[in-house]
Structure 1
């Protein structure tokens, strides 16, 4: 039976109603600071924590609950006769319910431009100590850290006069999830503030659930979408869905791939993605022409794909998009007329993402889960260093070809390796992703491009170990190639380019994507 409750909350959602219900059942309420003021103002009888400890709050409130009369009252095991004898001799009364949520550290650091001192002052000390103590002694103490649990606890008390062991255990579990999340945020903030720890000896990560998915990659797999805590502006967790059914696991994965490629471009650009690989990319002076270029890159593969645009979707573009089946369109905005056109189809998802042009922070980590471990690396946020780019052939690329080579390299960077991209006039003509050898990737890309390969450029995500890719390119009419270089047999490919009059540029930077 709950006789005494300690209540001290930063988030006061529902606390007046909950405390009032407890008081109506004869529960004695102990409280601190702002919570005590709020409860007293609501007409509730509240015992100040100092009246329990016999010690005043001090150090600007830093010390108020760190006292044996609080923690012994929480940690005493009621079934242990020696425990009960000791607290009786010490004049300690048990505390049966602890209701605490912690200082708003997350909200503080997310405000932007927060000073270190303010962040430090919002690190809770007494709160985590009390709720961990209560959770450890869950058999005897009910502990609540989430206002969503108030109703369930009251319902059980109303029905049986007490809270079930199963519920107490679940509430205890939530405490350690809560404190783990809280401490991980603090550690990350301090690590980021230091700025010189790229890979800590132990890595704790924390994410917040966005939604339960209908299923994962396949219908027999369950799945959930979590987001990082922090600034997500310009990235998928911050997107607002304006229309259409719920996003699936594959929708989110594919859309993220489209977004990361889109962020390579500043000019009006449309990216079409299928199964995380680009199937059409176009840049132009306006978003309509960019879409047409992306669509005409591969009219077959774009069907049922994802479209990402870095400019507002207007009516004219929407009407073109609406001619085929598209799963998702994500853009910084939609004109009212464009939305009216696209929303005629009930299943298309329309996502608005402000800040779509924003790049990932320089310290962003890319992570790949493997069985029993985690691979962590810095994000691949560089295309190439201009000073490392050099033409290695007799033929020199034209200004237009250089622009297309850079365009193609942006696309191939976000295509699964082995990857080859054929492009012309800032439009992909063929994409060869994920083949087990580079020649096959080249053949796939050229096959998509067809006769359009004549006069086009080719990009490779890694070096050519043999001249065979050059020979395939020459047969298709490719006029310029961009690749990292670095093979011990680079000269063979250079010689082949010279033989066929192809310009070849080395960047010195590989872009494997697995």
Structure 2
């Protein structure tokens, strides 16, 4: 049954005479409390917060004095009491509420300062089950929600970064808080508790391996407001979640202008791709444009890998994102800055490399401190009208798949290495995806086409264009291998790849016409390997 509002108008200004402070994050707490006390505000506090204020010499009453009941059960129960929540929820201009407060000796709280137990931090740091559960805050969210609901009278502050705004408002309004600001803080408070509860729910789902919980919630904290989204007429912001996965969200930006919406999207795609390559085994570089690779290569060094990646499609690489799986050094930096590049992302960068990149003041340089483990489970989320599509991250790695040769000819050792390389890249190409590769480098990429045969032809065309730009007699697809992200529904796509010069192919298999496709491969003397797993990417 819905509660009917009494339609009592909220006052514009509420004098702040009494404050309740209970915080886990004590950043700037003492300084803030001193300013409140200096304005004659009575300070009520709990546990560690009360101790911190008392040690700073501030006059503070413990909440147990207000409730007449001590903190019990290791502090689990201290604020869940009518003397607290009555003071938070009372509608002061309601005669019945006022009478209840008088009868039960309940005093109102005008300002509530609460931030929550560090649940997300404990999860990120790998806390065990008991430690994580113990850091699920109960009293904190209850006080936040109660105060936010009653923002007509109560100011709720959940973020230390808002302390200055509170003091400024009190000074501007002779010790009172305006209604407009109380509403803003209430909105922020509900966003915080929603995000907090979402983190808890998702941790439980992950821990208990509940693949599709009946209710799903996701939350993040605003990191930056974008100038615009994919297009100038779209608004956008970047929110960070509790997941600590090395990449664009955890990277330090050493230089360059603010990342745009498209920069973040493309940089994430680039780093996820290059993280497929073990830096202890090989140097690897991926060049991304519009979330698709226009060149990927392994090499004996980062600079050699970059040159090979660039050779695949030097035209598309202009204005692209460059991702490295090893430290950016001076030699590689000198090559990368020769053409216009939006972002460089790498695990680290030498001082010499940073100095070279610094000459391009708008070029963003990000360092992550590590790679993203391609095998780590996680969630991928996409919005649709009226809903969310949620799936597990595509964490299949070609090295872990059971590869089967299905043709008369077996691939050579070099072909097999290139097939694995190509399939690793195809995982990160928009479907339908075709990747031609040779000697550990892409030589043609076809992405996002409605038919697989079109992707094969586009990739071949790009190889021809790259050869002409490099002054080569024939494209590098001659003698290459080819990877397809999903099965060939007909032999035509394979025949296009063979026409381009492919001598071996890797694909998932599973088509009703697999026999027809295999027969075409045998007829042309090429080797075919099936993975049994596809990598659709829409």
2:321 paired residue number:
306
1:56-455 equivalent positions in 2, closer than 5 A: 56-112=70-126, 114-161=127-174, 162-194=176-208, 196-232=209-245, 234-266=246-278, 267-356=282-371, 358-359=373-374, 361-362=376-377, 364-384=378-398, 388-450=402-464, 451=474, 452-455=476-479
What is the aligned partner in structure 2 of residue 456 from structure 1? Answer: 480
Q: Helix, strand or coil: the match of 1:163?
A: strand
In structure 2, the residue matched to 1:5 is 19
Gaps of 5+ in 1: none
Quick one: structure 1 residues 340 and 142, their matched pair in 2 at CA, closer, same or farther if it must change by over 3 Å? closer
Alignment match of 1:32 (pick from 46, 71, 76): 46
- SS class of match (2:215): coil
Cα 1:430–1:139 change in 2 (3 A) is: same
1:484 equivalent among 508, 511, 531? 508
Please list the CA deviations of residues 390-409 of structure 1 after superposition, one character each: whole Å capped at 9, or x if unmatched: 22222221111111111111
Q: For 2:320 and 2:172, locate their aligned partners in 1 and report how far apart those are by CA, in whole Å.
A: 53
Relative to the length of structure 1, the TM-score reads 0.94
Residues 247 and 372 of structure 2 are in contact (CA less than 8 Å); yes or no, is this contact kept in structure 1?
A: no
Change in CA separation of 1:186 and 1:295 when aligned onto 2, cut-off 3 Å: same
Aligned CA distance change for structure 1 residues 230 and 453 (closer, same or farther; 3 Å): closer
Report the Cα distance in structure 1 between the residues aligned to 2:120 and 2:397, rounded to whole angstroms.
Answer: 34
**RMSD over equivalenced CA pairs, Å:** 2.0
Q: Distance in 2 between matches of 1:52 and 1:365?
A: 45
Alpha-carbon separation, structure 2, partners of 1:175 and 1:148: 13
Give CA deviations for 1:187-227 in whole Å, capped at 9, x if unaligned: 23333332x21221111111122211121111221211112
Distance 1:314 1:15, change over 3 A: closer
Deviates more, 1:331-340 or 1:420-429: 331-340
SS of 1:29's equivalent?
strand
Q: How many residues align?
A: 510
Unaligned 5+ segments in structure 2 are 1-14, 465-473
Q: Distance in 2 between matches of 1:158 and 1:339?
A: 45
Q: CA deviation at 1:158?
A: 2.7
Kindly tell me: are residues 487 and 105 of structure 1, through their superposed partners in 2, closer, same or farther at Cα, counting changes over 3 Å?
closer
| Offset from partner CA, 1:262-320 (integer Å, 9 cap, x none) | 12212211111111111111112222221121111222221221111112222222222
Give the structure 1 partner of residue 9 of structure 2: none
Deviates more, 1:321-330 or 1:13-22: 13-22
Distance 1:158 1:408 in 2: 64
1:337 positional shift: 2.4
| Corresponding position of 2:492 | 468
Task: Tell me, yes or no, if the aligned pair for 2:432 and 2:451 is still in contact at 8 Å.
Answer: yes
CA distance in 2, matches of 1:158, 1:317: 55
Return the offset for 1:82: 1.6
Q: Counterpart in 2 of 1:499? A: 523
TM-score, normalized by length of structure 2? 0.90
Write the distance in 2 (CA, Å) between the matches of 1:385 and 1:426: 15
**Residues 288 and 369 of structure 1: is their aligned pair in 2 closer, same or farther, counting only changes over 3 Å?**
same
| C-alpha contact 2:248 2:366 (8 A) present in aligned 1 | no
User: CA separation of 1:28/1:246 partners in 2, compared to 1, >3 Å: closer, same or farther?
Assistant: closer
